Structures are given as C-alpha cells and as structure tokens.
Amino acid sequence: LSVRQRCSFFFGSGHQDNSFPLRYLFGPGPSNVPPRILAAGSRPIIGHLHPEMYEIMNDIKRGIQYVFQTENNMTLAMSGSGHAAMECAVFNMVEPGESVLIAINGIWGERVAEIAERIGANVHRLVKSPGGYFTNKEIEQAVEKHKPVLFFLTHGESSAGLCHPVDGIGDICRKHNCLFLVDTVASLGAAPIFMDKQNIDILYSGSQKALNAPPGTAPISFNDRACHKMFNRKTKPVSYLFDMAHLSNYWGCDGKPAREYHHTGPVSGFFTLRESLAILAEKGLEESWKKHKEVSAYLYRGLEDLGLKLFIPERDLRLPSVTTIAIPAGYNWRELLTYIMKHHHMEMTGGLGPSIGMVMRIGLMGYNCEKTNADMALHALADALKSCKKSKP
Amino acid sequence: LSVRQRCSFFFGSGHQDNSFPLRYLFGPGPSNVPPRILAAGSRPIIGHLHPEMYEIMNDIKRGIQYVFQTENNMTLAMSGSGHAAMECAVFNMVEPGESVLIAINGIWGERVAEIAERIGANVHRLVKSPGGYFTNKEIEQAVEKHKPVLFFLTHGESSAGLCHPVDGIGDICRKHNCLFLVDTVASLGAAPIFMDKQNIDILYSGSQKALNAPPGTAPISFNDRACHKMFNRKTKPVSYLFDMAHLSNYWGCDGKPAREYHHTGPVSGFFTLRESLAILAEKGLEESWKKHKEVSAYLYRGLEDLGLKLFIPERDLRLPSVTTIAIPAGYNWRELLTYIMKHHHMEMTGGLGPSIGMVMRIGLMGYNCEKTNADMALHALADALKSCKKSKP
C-alpha cells in the first residue's frame, strides 16, 4: 500500500460546498442550529483542563440546573449523545442481579432494557403499544410486584409523539425505595419538567433537540438519593469513561479541590452547549414551553385541515416538540417523505423502532419552533399528498 | 424553585468573549485548530442519517484508511474521544474470563488494564517505568506465558514522550494466535505507523492531536482477524453504544443495504474530522512525518542549548509530537508552567499518571508543528527559567 495511494479523493477541497446542503431539519432531531450557537462552535478552542474551561463547565452546570429545575450539585454534561447519558445512568445506578423496571411504549424503554440486560440486571418490562401510557396505579402495582431498585420512564417518547405524565410517580418510587429515572431527550425545553418538585432521582437529555446545539453532549443530573446508591456500590461500573466517580470529579461536583484528567471533553461541543443553555435561559423556560404549545396547536389545526389524523388522540398527551401523524390511508409514507426532501429540502421522518409504518413525524423544536415553519411544513405535506399517487387507490 | 430563578447569570452574553482567550496549545493535546477546520465545524448541520452525511462518513472512512495505512473495510470514527475508542476496542474484542496482556510504560496501558478488569477479563500487566520500552523478546516471552487473546501496546506514550517500536510484534502475536491492539492517539500523523504492513489487528487514535480537529471523535479500525473474533463472540459487549455489531452498520461497513438508527453521531464533529483528514491527506503522510521529525529535532537542540535534559535519552525512541523534558534540578515545575501560561498564554504541561513530577511536556502537533512555534516555546521556557527562582538553590 503506497503512502500516497488512498488520498487522491481528498486533494482539492471542492468537496466542501456540496456536502453541506441547506436542510430544514423538521424531523425529531437534530434540529437546525441557530447562528449564535454555530459561532460558539467555531471559536478557537482552549485546553480541556484550563481554568477558563472550568468556568464554561460551571456555566453549563448552572444552565442544566435551570432547565432541569433542580438544585442538584451532581449535574453535568456527558461527552456524548443522549445514548451516552442513558448508559451512564444505567451503568452507575444498577449492579448485576438487581431488579429494574422499564416502562416501554416506544423505542427508548426498549433501549434502556437492552442496556440493563447487558450489565446483568434482572429486567422487568412494563409494555404498551407505541403511544400508550401508564397510569400511576399500573406503575405502583408493577413496582410492588418486581421491587426494582430503578424505574425508568420516557418523558418525551419521540417515536410515538407522546409526552408522558410524570406527576406522582416520583412519590410512588420513594414509597417503595426505588429510584426514578426519566428520559427527557426529546421534551426538554418544549414541555414542563420539574426534576426536584417531581421527585425525579436521575434525569438526562440531549443537546440536539429543543436546545438546538449540535449533537454530541448530553445533560444529566443525579439527586442525593441517586448519589447515595451510586457511590456506595459493591462493584465498579463496567465503563471507565462513564464512571460517575470520575465524571463527578471532572465536573467539579465531588467537593475535591483539584480536578484530575479523566478523558478529553469535546471542547467545541461544550462551547455550543453553553450557548444553547444561555439562549434558553434568556428566553425563559415558561416562554419556551408556551411557544411550543402554541406552535404545535397551530400545526395540529393545519394537519387536520389537510384531512390528516393525529396519532395521539389525547391532545394533552401530545409531545409539543415532535408531532406524530397517522399515515394517511393508501399512501406510501416513504414516498411522501422522499418527495418532501427532494422538492422542499425538508426533513420529516417516519416512525422509529416499533412505530415504523405507523406514523410520520414533524419536529419543530426550539429555534425551529415558529408558525412560519409550521406553514412551510404544511405546504410541503399538502404538495406531497397531491403529487404522490395513492399506491392503493 | 422559581422557573426564572437560576438563569440570571446567563442574561446578556457578555460572558462570551472572556471565555475564549487566545491560548497556544503546546501541551500534549488538544492542539490549536486551524481556521479551515474551525470553519467546517461552524457549517449548518444536516441530519445524521441523510445521504450527504453518509458521503461525509465515507470520506472519513477513506481518510482513516489512508492515515492508518490500511485497507480494512471495518474502519470508522467513534462518537467520542480516544477513551471511547479504547473502550470500544476492549469491550468488543474481549469476553469475560479471557486472558489479556497489557504493556504498561506510562498511563495508557494502565487505563486499558482498568477497562479490561471492569469487564471481567483476566488481566496480565507487563510493566516498565515511564519511558521504558519492551523488547520483542520480552513481549514474546510474556505472550507465551499468559496466552492472551489480546496484546495491547501504546505507540505514542504521551505521558513519557516515548514512541514505541512496533515492527515484528504483530508477527509474534499471529504466531501465538493473539490479537495486536495499538493506541496511536498521540502519534498518528507525527510518526510512521503502517497498520496492514505491521500486522496490527486493531488500531485507534484521537482527533485532537496531530489531526488538529476539536476533541470528540476517534478513528478506529479492525482487520479481518479482529472482525472474526468480534463477530463470533458468545456474550454481547457490555455497551450498546460501543457495540461494533451496531456501529459497523451505522458506518456502512457490514455490507447490509440499509443503515439503521443506532445513536445520533456528532454531526459537526464529523465535519471537522473529515476536514482534518483532508488536510493531512493533501499534505501527505510522509511530509507530515518528516516535518514532525525536523521540528522536534530543532526543539531538542534548543532545549539542550538552554541546559535542559531530554527525558528519553534514545533519540530514535522520542515521540515527535510530544517532547518530554526532565524537570530541571531545583525548580518547581508547577511554578514554571504557571509562569508560562500567565506571561506567554502558552500551555505546556507536567507529567500524567506515573510521570507526574518526572517531566514537563511540549507538544507541537500538526498545524502547531512549526519552527516558529518551537522558538516561541523555547523563548517562554528561557524566560520562566530566568524568572522563577529555584526553590531549592
């Protein structure tokens, strides 16, 4: 193999411009990144262990405390996407052989169950079809039956477009000495969540949804109950990279005076995450929740005017960031989405995991959450419905 | 907790400019990012599963094949720093109870040993003090004794400034039916490595050293021998996120027609990684190796002219990207480094892990690898030596 042999394709950088086409990212994420966040990501980097970086990380910590509505000291961002936070939560909270209970009503619960099984947990699944939800009574009965150390629930089930109620579940978990883990990747900033008030013990999210940062970082927070279990375990977590004993030090959350080298954090990713948290804080959470509610309601009306049916019948259970539409009778959903991408440069997506073939999804999150964008999406959909022949007339 | 309560610190974005000071990153990484790579990172993002993204990932794959000098199909970038690649390699290659042999002559071998222990491997350590190296005879004897399924070696031991010889070790491993895993995080692009020719079975690196991209992505490659073991295991790897059964599909390496959603890759991070690979390919590997050799030799002379002693006596074993200096007698190394940062805005670092208190480190990597930068580093060091009183006269 010649040293030069494989590099010819790279010579000249004409490849650049064609590879970054304009795309309206109106799927379930990532969403379009506002210029202010892009600019933060292009700042010359500093060292991952410089004092100025610690200040940026401290800003991120305070920003996450705000958007999670928590006072938890053990609050930080993972060097990875939402899946890194998911694995971090399970790896640190659960030891082999322990019982865990996972609510599955879409894709995310199944992922958590798979992760917990890999580390040897005793996994119990509480299952509904996509878009289904669990009553507090059902949850309490299952907790009583399986005596889990951890109960997992998805707040924003993006595969089905469901925003699951959370009130009261934290209390049930406390009563039964179980920790409450919630996934808010797709809902953070779009639908209200109150980590402390709702007694959520572990909460995580992602950067690329309503926060509008590029993917690659993931907020996570643990309260004192979670820390007590996590830092009194018998076995080490399987991952060194995701071990909170190290990450808590890296983020200055362990009370020790010095932060030691653990891994090299994504410096530019932290720049963008801080900027995205700052934008949300400046706007205000309540304002952001209100905006998502208004724009999604506007979108629902437009979709119904097109004769489309919303997948989640209960309006109050719909996820304001990701709207799911039942696939219109007789249409091929892949054909519709391909048409929309080709003619409108717009991403909408199909289902994910168990909801594939059941839904089409429109995400209008954070920066993208505007009535003008809803109009664009509706226009593209109307055009596709008109242009794509019904495959089964 | 009021919804508005915690966000006051964020209002106004006056925090921005002070948080991104100019820093000459002349430590062991991350290094300064050239404007062309910063610009790639600030491009509006596209979806992580768009056809254009697959093209970008294919470019990255070809770029890694070139810089690794391999034809391996199973070549991709991790969504994480070098530690993610390290864990990916160990998690996928080793099953609980299997014997592994780890060469430790600085920090990285110890990290790999810790990771392998966490997943229940039977870990054997081959240890030298920082900067020591292993003869092929010593390695073969240890392989014969412990019959490992995997032997780990660090090519660029950045904590000690050693570039370990690799020739012949791959053959020893083949002879004894053992896989050869090499860490080239700190050496890639700075010192020659030939994955195929040197019979390296698994090779990984990082984005933030001589490649000059921001941290957050990590090239990795597996040859057919490694794939055979990895895809015929009895147990699933502990991590879903780092499971090569999924990552190989996400990167289009498994021969299946469709790529399925696994996790959301760091879109901007892939933009920057591709640009950094393109720059290295345009320059040419041989040219880059030559440049690092020349500039480091120039730096050695300057350091010796200052009366300083190189930590690695054997010139041919010195890592061209990271130069280690024995701490000059009587000086407090922390004081020297603090002075250099304060007065010259320049990062040099102390040791890492077992080399703390033994060395100071200067990294001139990729874009930073210029004689003018060596001059700046030498000037700053000379100033610090003159200005910082010897603590033990």
Among the candidates A261, A281, A301, a domain finishes at: A281
Do A179 and A44 lie in one domain? The reply is yes
The confidence score (pLDDT) of residue B15 equals 53
Do B194 and B93 lie in one domain? The reply is yes
Do B53 and B186 lie in one domain? The reply is yes
Do B59 and B207 lie in one domain? The reply is yes
* Number of inter-chain CB pairs under 8 A, A vs B: 273
pLDDT reading at B215 higher than 80 = yes
* Most A-contacting residue of B18, B19, B342 (CB-CB within 10 A), to test interface: B19
Residues forming beta bridges with residue B220, ordered by sequence position? B76, B204
Euclidean distance between CA atoms A202 and A220, whole angstroms: 7
B23 touches chain A (CB under 8 A): yes
The confidence score (pLDDT) of residue A307 equals 97
pLDDT reading at A11 higher than 50 = no
Contact flag B47-A25 (C-beta cutoff 8 Å): yes
Task: Please indicate, yes or no, if residue B2 is contained in any of the structural domains.
Answer: no
Give per-residue pLDDT as tens, A354-365: 999 999 999 999
Band of pLDDT at residue A389, cut at 50, 70 and 90: confident
Task: Please indicate, yes or no, if residue A12 is contained in any of the structural domains.
Answer: no
pLDDT reading at B12 higher than 50 = no
Q: List, as one string, the DSSP characters of A131-181.
A: T----HHHHHHHHHHH--SEEEEESEETTTTEE---TTHHHHHHHTT-EEE
Residues of A in contact with B238 (CB under 8 A): 118-119, 238-239
The residue range of the domain holding B335 is 24-31+285-388
Contact flag A44-B32 (C-beta cutoff 8 Å): yes
B20 touches chain A (CB under 8 A): yes
Q: Which residue has 């991120």 as its token pair?
A: A60
Q: CA–CA distance from B313 to each of A256, B297, B310, B316, B317 (Å)?
A: 37, 13, 6, 9, 8
Among the candidates B245, B264, B281, a domain finishes at: B281
Do A318 and A335 lie in one domain? The reply is yes
Give per-residue pLDDT as tens, B70-83: 999 999 999 999 99
Among the candidates A247, A281, A315, a domain finishes at: A281
Do B122 and B190 lie in one domain? The reply is yes
Q: Which CATH number is A327's domain given?
A: 3.90.1150.10
Task: Please indicate, yes or no, if residue B241 is contained in any of the structural domains.
Answer: yes
Task: Please indicate, yes or no, if residue A54 is contained in any of the structural domains.
Answer: yes
Band of pLDDT at residue B389, cut at 50, 70 and 90: confident
Q: Which CATH number is B153's domain given?
A: 3.40.640.10
- What average pLDDT does chain B have? 95
- The burial of B371, by beta-carbon neighbours within 10 Å (0-12 exposed, 13-18 middle, 19 or more buried), is given as middle
Task: Please indicate, yes or no, if residue A14 is contained in any of the structural domains.
Answer: no
The confidence score (pLDDT) of residue B20 equals 82
Euclidean distance between CA atoms A101 and A226, whole angstroms: 16
| Number of separate domains in chain B | 2
The confidence score (pLDDT) of residue A36 equals 96
Task: Please indicate, yes or no, if residue A274 is contained in any of the structural domains.
Answer: yes
Do A266 and A296 lie in one domain? The reply is no
Give per-residue pLDDT as tens, A43-64: 999 999 999 999 999 999 999 9
Do B197 and B251 lie in one domain? The reply is yes
For residues A144 and A137, is the Cβ–Cβ distance under 8 A?
Answer: no
Task: Please indicate, yes or no, if residue A146 is contained in any of the structural domains.
Answer: yes
Task: Please indicate, yes or no, if residue B4 is contained in any of the structural domains.
Answer: no
Do A348 and A245 lie in one domain? The reply is no
- What average pLDDT does chain A have? 95
Do B228 and B136 lie in one domain? The reply is yes
Give per-residue pLDDT as tens, A261-298: 999 999 999 999 999 999 999 999 999 999 999 999 99
pTM: 0.96
Do A195 and A296 lie in one domain? The reply is no
CA A241 to chain B, closest CA, distance in angstroms equals: 7
User: What three-state secondary structure class fits B49?
Assistant: coil
pLDDT reading at A18 higher than 70 = no
Q: List, as one string, the DSSP characters of B90-135.
A: HHHH--TT-EEEEEESSSHHHHHHHHHHHTT-EEEEEE--TT----
The confidence score (pLDDT) of residue A5 equals 52
B36-74 burial, b if ≥16 CB within 10 A, otherwise e? bbbebbbbbbbbbbbeebeebbebbbbbbbbbbbbebbb
* Most A-contacting residue of B42, B57, B337, B340 (CB-CB within 10 A), to test interface: B42
pLDDT reading at B5 higher than 90 = no
Do A270 and A295 lie in one domain? The reply is no
Q: Which residue has 């031991």 as its token pair?
A: B157
